[in-house]
A = this chain, B = another copy of it.
Amino acid sequence: MTDAPASHSWRSVREEVLRRIAHEDWRPGDAIPNEADLAAELGCARATVNRALRSLSDDGLLERRRKGGTRIARHPVGKATVRIPIIRMEIEERGALYGYRLLDRRMERAPDALRPRFGPPGEGDLLHVIAVHLADGRPYALENRWIVPETVPDALDQSFEDLAANEWLVRHLPLTRAQSEFFAINATDRETAALGAAAGEALIVHRRMTWLAERPITLVEMTFAKGHTLRT
């Protein structure tokens, strides 16, 4: 292996690949250039590229095939066990008509209770999106989402007025880790307004955080309307 300068260490090549994924230069399913071409483009040794791609492949982010070269993985989480559900499809699979309404979209800091979960990027403003998903015109779930612009800069170009952040993220970005929490809340003003819940009604919340390599992508709280059951 050549002793590449710091700017061309395998870690910097890895960072460059992650940057291209985050910017959607390379999207899930895309073939990426071969090692020799990448090495030439980045001006580093082929062994350095190889080391970087191996590391990303170990994370499940790249699929390396003997023939057909290397591709960005479509569903890299846990090597294809966990998939993030798209709420629209969940509703349509129940035979209901899907509806969607954006309630709010702004840059702001995450609340104190959640901020530490994002690590250093949580110290800056995050993209905060609130929307409601409807089934046959009735509220189905309230999506309260924080997106990390450092990891997903392209999210800043999305209005999320017609396409939910839930669906946009699943379709545009691979992920390497997901963590889920389930808990119950008594409906407050926000849930009575957005979900048509009675004050104090017990609602189930699915809080999920996802990562691309070690970078936080998003934290979302999906609060479901009264009587909803989550199944595994």
Contact = CB atoms under 8 A, between A and B. Distances in A.
B182 A229 contact: yes
Instruction: Determine the main DSSP class of A at the interface with B.
Output: strand
Nearest to A182: B230
**A interface, size bucket:** 20 to 34
Given A202-B202, A202-B203, A204-B204, A231 B186 contact: no
Given A81-B81, A182-B182, A182-B230, 15 more contacts: A179-B231, A179-B232, A180-B231, A181-B229, A182-B229, A183-B204, A183-B229, A183-B230, A184-B184, A184-B185, A184-B204, A186-B186, A186-B200, A186-B201, A200-B200
B180 A202 contact: no
Nearest to A231: B181
**Copies of this chain, whole number:** 2
14 contacts: A179-B232, A180-B231, A181-B232, A182-B204, A182-B230, A183-B228, A183-B229, A184-B185, A184-B202, A184-B203, A185-B202, A200-B200, A202-B202, A202-B203
A173 to B, nearest CB: 21
